[in-house]
Structure 1
Amino acid sequence: MGRVRTIVFKSAFYGLSVAIVLLAPVTALFGQRAFRRWVLLWTQYHAWCARNLAGIRVRIEGAPLAGPALYASKHQSFFETFELVRMLDAPAVVMRQEYARIPVWGWAARRYGIIIIDRSGSAAALRQMMREAKAAGAAGRSVVLFPEGTRSAMGETPPVLSGLAGLYRAVGRPVVPIALDTARVWPKHGPMRPGLVTFRFGEPIPAGLKRNEIESLVHREINALNG
């Protein structure tokens, strides 16, 4: 049944997503706000497919801040990349540069306002990432970062990458850690399965901490549900 659900979900979601992405340049003609509304519509369709076709239900513990913040989230599946955009009302998302190179989709992602992270870790790339994050914060947008970098399975706790501390300084806002357990229903490898997943918004961590402090706190908090 897991494989059947996966096939049904992917057929419905990715099938219509092709049209949504191809129409993105048209919606961009109506301005940035209209374009982001289009992206949010896409995330709402994703949530509908996950709930009704894959049987995935979401429980939220805690709450996002009322104003802009830097959100540091655990990353276990593609599920949270869509859900967090929906929950946080179109934040800027830090994303690997490989995704920005995908034809049409990459253009749409840049138009939306993603922040590119270059895994080569060069000083110039980090400075560019921090400039983009600072601009997003100045525009009143929250920023979402997956500080461990890559998707992980339940129980895995990859180290926090260096970009977290730089963004923390650049944005100059509280960090809200997000723990989740989406790998229970959408593992890195294998079929999807129905079930309940939790998104836990932790207590905001104030700006101004030292690098080792912020990295340690965030790493601990985002892995709170990773048992």
Structure 2
Amino acid sequence: MLQYTRSVIFIIQMYVAMPIIGLGFAPWAMFSRKGAYAACKTYSRYVFWTARWMVGIRCEVRGTPPEGEALIAAKHQSFLDIMMIFTALPAAKFIMKKEILMTPIIGQYAKRLNCVAVDRGKRGAAIEKMVADVNAGRTEPGQLIIYSQGTRVAPGAKMPYKVGTGVLYEQLGQPCVPVATNVGVLWPKRGMLRKPGVAVVEFLPAIEPGMERAEFMDILESSVEGTSDALMAEAGFKQVTDG
């Protein structure tokens, strides 16, 4: 009960801080993309700091985040991995569902960071538009983050990897850096309880451009899922097996 109460207080103050920091940085962010990055990274670091002493979650980044242009294909389990991956990269922008653009504060900053909005309900047209929007935004170099399963996936749940990641890998001709995580064990997809422990995102060795799409997707999925399973076990998660 004590941990649950701490979790509720943590979540409330986290969302109260969002408009305060967002509006505080707004004059700078309106005229400079650096201001938008500074605002988002300041907020994320504030959340990491409060998570540590309020609910006992320590955030840890492993591996080597890329400095240059790259496609980042990540496992997505909760809001926490978004902040951790974003903060670890110098110039990150996301492939994201278009509804997020309508969210107060977050939507405005997503636009300033040149995030790419996708209509998930129109698969073929969405992929075509996504590629066009990504190519249009390539004048602003950076690291493009895509969640290959398309949504948050709870620990232990299985969901296929979508073809959009493979299409972007072919189109961009950039290294793809897989990212594994265990954050959903401590900060779940749904619910208020936050569990103490070490939340990890791990940047894995890059997959160089030039592979056939099917081979690329197989390597991506096996590396991300295998490492995520190991990280979740490290955090105390026990996989449920049939039989």
**Pairwise same-fold verdict (TM > 0.5):** yes
In the other structure, the counterpart of 2:196 is 194
The separation in 2 between residues aligned to 1:206 and 1:184, in whole angstroms, is 31
Shift of 1:136: 4.3
Deviating more after overlay: 53-62 vs 210-219: 53-62
More helix by share: 2
Alpha-carbon distance between aligned partners in 2 of 1:12 and 1:103, rounded to the nearest angstrom: 17
Once the two structures are superposed, residues 128-155 of structure 1 have per-residue CA deviations (whole angstroms, 9 ceiling, x without a partner) of 2113323444422011111001111111
Please tell me whether residue 118 in structure 1 is matched to residue 156 in structure 2: no
TM-score (norm 2): 0.85
Measure how far apart 1:103 and its partner are: 3.8
Q: CA deviation at 1:174?
A: 0.6
2:212 match: 210
Amino acid at match of 1:2: Q
Shift of 1:198: 2.3
For 1:167-200, what per-residue CA distance to the aligned partner results, in whole angstroms no more than 9, with x for missing partners? Answer: 2123221111111111110112331111012222
For each residue in 1:48-73, what CA deviation from the matched residue of structure 2 results, as whole angstroms up to 9, or x when unmatched?
12222221113333211232211111
2: CA distance between counterparts of 1:47 and 1:25? 22
- CA distance 1:209–1:175, change in 2 (3 Å): same
Q: Which moved more, 1:174-183 or 1:98-107?
A: 98-107
Question: Does 34-43 or 139-148 show the bigger shift?
Answer: 34-43
Matched with 2:178 is 177
User: Which of 216, 221, 227 in structure 1 is aligned with 2:223?
Assistant: 221
In 1, Cα distance between the equivalents of 2:67 and 2:194?
33
Structure 1 gap ranges (5+): none
Amino acid at match of 1:73: A
Listed one character per residue, the Cα deviations across residues 46-102 of structure 1 (whole Å, up to 9, x for unaligned) are 221222222111333321123221111111111011111101124011111111122
Does structure 2 retain, via aligned residues, the 8 Å contact 1:5–1:53? yes
Identity of aligned residues (%): 28
Question: Residue by residue, what CA displacement relative to the aligned partner does 1:196-224 show, whole Å, maximum 9, x if unpaired?
Answer: 12222111101122221121111111112
Contact 2:61 / 2:84 at 8 angstroms: preserved in 1? no
Aligned residue identity for 1:30: F
The aligned runs of 1:78-97 (5 Å cut-off) are 78-97=79-98
SS at 1:59's partner residue?
strand
For 1:52 and 1:28, the matched residues in 2 are separated by 29
Q: How far does residue 156 in structure 1 lie from its aligned partner after superposition?
A: 1.7
**Residue number in structure 2 paired with 1:131:** 132
Q: Tell me which moved more, 15-24 or 42-51.
A: 15-24
Partners of 2:91 and 2:114 in 1: CA distance: 9
State the alpha-carbon separation in 2 of the partners of residues 31 and 198 from structure 1. 31
- More displaced stretch, 68-77 vs 122-131: 122-131
CA distance in 2, matches of 1:24, 1:120: 34
Give the SS at the match of 1:223.
helix
8 Å CA contact retained: 2:10, 2:51: yes
RMSD: 1.9
Tell me the distance in 2 between the aligned counterparts of 1:189 and 1:122. Answer: 26
- 1:134-149 correspondence runs (5 A): 134-149=135-150
Q: Secondary structure, in 3 states, of the residue corresponding to 1:34? A: helix
What does residue range 47-58 of structure 1 map to in structure 2 within 5 Å? 47-58=48-59
